[in-house]
């Protein structure tokens, strides 16, 4: 079994697909993650997809391609894409590309104020 550089978990709740990414996003890991997230989006047709980046240790411009690709896909199905807790390195890469204000960003602090309905959650997990 080869080591996976980027692992993720998915969760769907009230039409919101949350993908929690862990590890390193580069060209190598983006290719497989991309295919798997897309098939989930096509299957579940969420109104909103949240990419949780709080546990990303490394991301290069391939990650930017991954995020913008999912952003475009969500737009195509009339949904939206949000990034959760991107670190300052990730934000910097977005700013270099002039895309700082295109994708919505949510931080954990805002989340606490919202509903914390962790129950009734269908959990899908992939390793």
Q: Which residues sit at the interface with other proteins, rule CB under 8 A?
A: 2, 5, 24, 26-28, 30-31, 34, 58-62, 64-66, 68-69, 89, 92-93, 96-98
CA 118/CA 124 separation, integer angstroms: 14
Which residue in this structure is represented by tokens 């949350």?
18
**Comparison of 68 and 105: residue with beta carbon closer to other proteins:** 68
**Comparison of 12 and 41: residue with beta carbon closer to other proteins:** 41
Min separation Cβ 2 and other proteins, Å: 8
**Comparison of 48 and 69: residue with beta carbon closer to other proteins:** 69
**Comparison of 48 and 65: residue with beta carbon closer to other proteins:** 65
Q: What are 60's two structure tokens?
A: 């290069």
CA 122/CA 118 separation, integer angstroms: 10
CA 103/CA 92 separation, integer angstroms: 13
Min separation Cβ 61 and other proteins, Å: 4
Q: What are 38's two structure tokens?
A: 């897309």
The residue among 64, 73, 84 whose CA lies nearest residue 41 is 73
SS3 of 87-107:
CHHHHHHHHHCCCCCCCEEEC
Min separation Cβ 110 and other proteins, Å: 26
Min separation Cβ 26 and other proteins, Å: 5
């Amino acid at each position: 079994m080869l080591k996976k550089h980027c692992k993720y978990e998915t969760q769907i709740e009230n039409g919101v697909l949350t993908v929690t990414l862990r590890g390193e996003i580069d060209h190598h890991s983006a290719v497989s993650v991309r295919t798997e997230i897309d098939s989930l989006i096509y299957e579940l047709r969420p109104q909103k997809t949240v990419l949780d980046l709080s546990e990303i240790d490394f991301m290069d411009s391939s990650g930017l391609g991954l995020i913008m690709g999912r952003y475009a896909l969500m737009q195509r199905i009339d949904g939206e894409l949000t990034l959760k807790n991107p670190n300052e390195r990730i934000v910097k890469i977005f700013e270099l590309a002039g895309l700082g204000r295109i994708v919505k960003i949510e931080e954990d602090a805002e989340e606490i104020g919202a509903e914390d309905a962790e129950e009734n959650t269908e959990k899908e997990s992939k390793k």
